Amino acid sequence: MNAPDHVTIHAATRRLSLTWNDGQTQWIDNATLRKRCPCSTCRRLMLSGHKARVESNVAIVDLQPMGYGVQIVFSDGHAQGIYPWDYLAGIV
**Residue 50: predicted pLDDT:** 92
Averaged over successive runs of 10 residues, the pLDDT of the chain (92 residues) comes to 94 97 97 96 93 93 95 97 96 88
Distances, alpha carbon 54 to alpha carbons 32, 69, 78, 80, in Å: 9, 22, 10, 15
Contact 10, 29 (CB under 8 A): no
Question: What pLDDT score does 9 carry?
Answer: 97
Q: What is the pLDDT of residue 26?
A: 98
Could you give all domains of the chain from N- to C-terminal order, each with its CATH number? 6-89 (3.30.2020.30)
pLDDT of res. 92: 82
Cβ atoms of 32 and 56 within 8 Å: the answer is no
Backbone angles phi, psi at 63, to 5 degrees: -130, 135
3-state secondary structure of 23: coil
